[in-house]
Amino acid sequence: MTTVRVGLGERSYDVVIEAGLLARAADRLLPLARGRVMPIVTDENVLPHLETLRAALGAAGVASEAIVLPPGESTKSWAMLEQLSDRLLDLGVERGDHVIALGGGVIGDLVGFACSILKRGCGFVQVPTTLLAQVDSSVGGKTAINTRAGKNLIGAFHQPALVLIDPTVLETLPPRQVRAGYAEVVKYGLIDDADFFAWCEANGAALLAGDLPLREHAIAYSVAAKARIVAEDERETRGRRALLNLGHTFGHALEAETGFSERLFHGEGVAAGMALAYGFSAAQGIAPHAAAARVTEHLRAVGLPDGLATAGVSASGKTLVGHMLHDKKMDAGTLPFLLARDIGESYVDKAVDLGAVEAFLDAQGR
């Protein structure tokens, strides 16, 4: 068992990582239940884990109420926010109560946002069931829904009171989903930890094949890395948290081009985006070509997209840069890029020439 503390003053909380934790979750949840009914919000794909969690709570004398939403990105909508908020209000949720978000990033983001506004903010607990949610979205308090103008454009920073991560829930996840989440694990190595990237090179394939101790290590390491960054820059105002967006600007363009659809999962877009960020850094003479090659080789070795072709994108540089200009990271008319000087040496560059990005992307397409 590993416990990582996210140190945010009065908003500090623990992230507990342990195989089999779901069945033992009541020990952690009992103090938050206050003798009241705990709402558990989940989606239709997570029903077996819902049963495990409800049984564990029931055995500890905690009553729960399940709210099961449709799976998929379209659940992060105004309509679902309204529906969920009404259900939680009907259940009489109070500010001091805790709603459990049991699911992937969609459930975590929607429930977190609903709880940020319910009675001006009630408590919630993240119980992430995808690798992507376990190593990224469940930690750090970013919550949001999508609108017709784009993804995650309406949201709030609202930290959970507790995050419970059971790596065994990944065993029932489709391998493609686990692989996509693994891109965010690799990201922590590329941001500022060359040793961890080397660990990924050595262990990534076995982790993806199902090795539980390796999965547990990667999750705990990733969560600790994220907790450090979030504690330094909770609201992404000091530049530090922006590093977590490595690969996301290029990746956003690829996701937009593929219609934010199942053609390219978010983690797959991030993988290809990280390869492009390193490739662009090398093309600009900022990073050694050998560093970009290592990134590409590792992503390819584990079956993740490593560029435009493997992401299934053939659009021009102009089209892709056009998508980037709709990115929510736009800042006073400029688009900050996450570039790298080497493996584990990423930085934010606010003066990237978009013409050079276009030319680089056009060259990739050839």
User: Which residue is associated with the tokens 């992401």?
Assistant: 311
The CB density around residue 168, as the number of other CB atoms within 10 Å, is: 17
Active-site annotation holds for 266: yes
Minimum gap (Å) between residue 241 Cβ and ligand GLY: 5
Question: Among residues 241, 268, 294, 298, which one is catalytic?
Answer: 241
Whether 226 is catalytic: yes
Is 76 one of the catalytic residues?
no
Question: Residue 113 or residue 360: which is nearer to ligand GLY going by CB?
Answer: 113
Whole-angstrom Cα distance, residue 19 to residue 216?
8
Tell me whether residue 323 is one of the annotated catalytic residues.
Answer: no
Angstrom distance (rounded) from CA 170 to CA 128:
10
Q: Closest approach of Cβ 136 to ligand GLY, in Å? A: 5
Tokens representing 35 are 């003798």
Q: Is 94 part of the annotated catalytic residue set?
A: no
Radius of gyration of the chain (CA): 20
From the list 146, 179, 184, 216, the catalytic residue is 184
Binding residues for Zn(2+): 184, 248, 266
DSSP labels for 113-156? HHHHHGGG--EEEEEE-SHHIIIIITSS-EEEEEETTEEEEEEE
> Nearer Cβ to ligand GLY, position 244 or 282?
244
Report d(CA 323, CA 313) in Å as an integer: 13
Q: Which is nearer to ligand GLY, 229 or 275 (CB)?
A: 229
Q: Is 120 a catalytic residue?
A: yes
Question: Which residue is it, tokens 């930085």?
Answer: 347
Annotated binding residues for NAD(+):
105-109, 129-130, 142, 151
184 is catalytic: yes
Using CB atoms, what's the residue nearest to ligand GLY?
Answer: 244
Name the residue nearer to ligand GLY (CB basis): 109 or 166. Answer: 109
* CB 101 to ligand GLY: min, Å: 15
Q: Are 308 and 275 in contact (CB under 8 A)?
A: no
Cα separation, 44 vs 294, whole angstroms: 39
Contact 209, 305 (CB under 8 A): no
* Catalytic site residue from 98, 158, 215, 226: 226
Counts of helices then strands in the chain (DSSP H, E): 13, 11
The catalytic position among 76, 158, 187, 248 is 248
Residues that bind ligand GLY (CB under 6 A): 136, 140, 142, 241, 244
Rounded least distance, CB 269 to ligand GLY, Å: 13
Q: Quick check: is 171 catalytic? A: no
Kindly list the catalytic residues.
Answer: 120, 142, 184, 226, 236, 241, 245, 248, 252, 266
